[in-house]
Structure 1
């Protein structure tokens, strides 16, 4: 087991770290250059562009995903006849191939023959060129990504909501609390551990987005949807700058690590702990 851990995780990680300190072309001899790749990142205008795009994607996707998943969970957490059908319908995209899902939505966002613009045309509205407009392409990818994965967070929220003791709701009703007050004072505090988990997973997933970008926009138009993982792929497999791509990958690793540790520290302030009750 230890040998497998070393061979499958530590060795590739160590090799990638060493590659990040080299000028490593696909063909020819590599040479050790120390921290030059990391220095180049600081002055790389395209890096800062794609880093900003990645932050934009994360800032748009995470709250949209979490809020929508929570609303769906509140609607579908009741025990009603046929409710399982609706839960399944929302969860099915999670199990669907990401590439297939992105291809379908690419055609739905098509300028002339896309379903979305055809529906708008019925309302006498001329739809825009969604994926060819630098202001609309990223929101289109965000919507596609949210609808793909919102079902997973929804299921987690449903499980958490169903674990909230009924006595708390009965007490809130006796106190005259309405639905909104009950949600914010009973339901939300009790499910904060699940909220924390879903936020961490969604943030990490958003920083690793690649498939949707590759299929729907190829990083365009005008690099408006080019994110960090796509930039890493481009440097490694289109420009064959393996050393520089490795350094970019470690920058992404550090960003994910820092954000995860930050969220872990913040959990102490807002995550409900039964021991504190």
Structure 2
């Protein structure tokens, strides 16, 4: 477990095949696991990098009526995308999720982030894994399907456009698990006039539908990684489903959002990704927490 060396804080970024890392981790050693694996979309996942250049014939208008054009930025050797397609997607995931179950602490939670194409197959598989040979019911270990809803991007003219991801929440024990709802951020009431000024000013706790924007392509949060997830979504998971000092594991770590959410709130993180571009981004993003 010391592929890149250990740190004073215990935070680690490991560059290896995640299955090999998981197989070497101690049983029941991690309190919270969040993973955002490839979605098996069949596409190359890559986020383009753009810049604006002053051009009177350009496609954008800026301050003072000045015209600009947008152009893609390419850097020699840069490749922060990946081909998101598997011949046997569940066969790829299953041994990794079986190890994740073994590693999960008795009161721990697993959050599995996927999309509508694969969620039903993955849920059946997780029900089987969390049944643990029949000692408990995997269906009882399933707590919620969280819908992360956003409203960004193209809109299909042939069907209702898909603007959500699915996050499955499972607990090692169906009755005993960490859930600190008071630590959650609060959201506005949709009809504040119906609840009174005091409640409206305080806001309400979220439901299983989480409205949260994607990472803005031009915002400060963006890292340039193709499938980066918003910090706000991961902070909610970390704060409610773990305690300060706990260890948070993400073995499809990508841009490192899980690590930042964990470190900001006093948790240790273990991040695993074999993609060199992902590791480079994580090391830069999380440098302050690795010293």
Task: Identify the TM-score tier after normalising by the shorter chain.
Answer: under 0.3
* Greater C-alpha radius of gyration: 1
More strand by share: 2
TM-score normalised over the length of structure 1: 0.26
TM-score normalised over the length of structure 2: 0.25
> Per chain length, whose mean CA-contact separation is higher, i.e. which structure has more relative contact order (CA < 8 Å, sep 6+)?
1
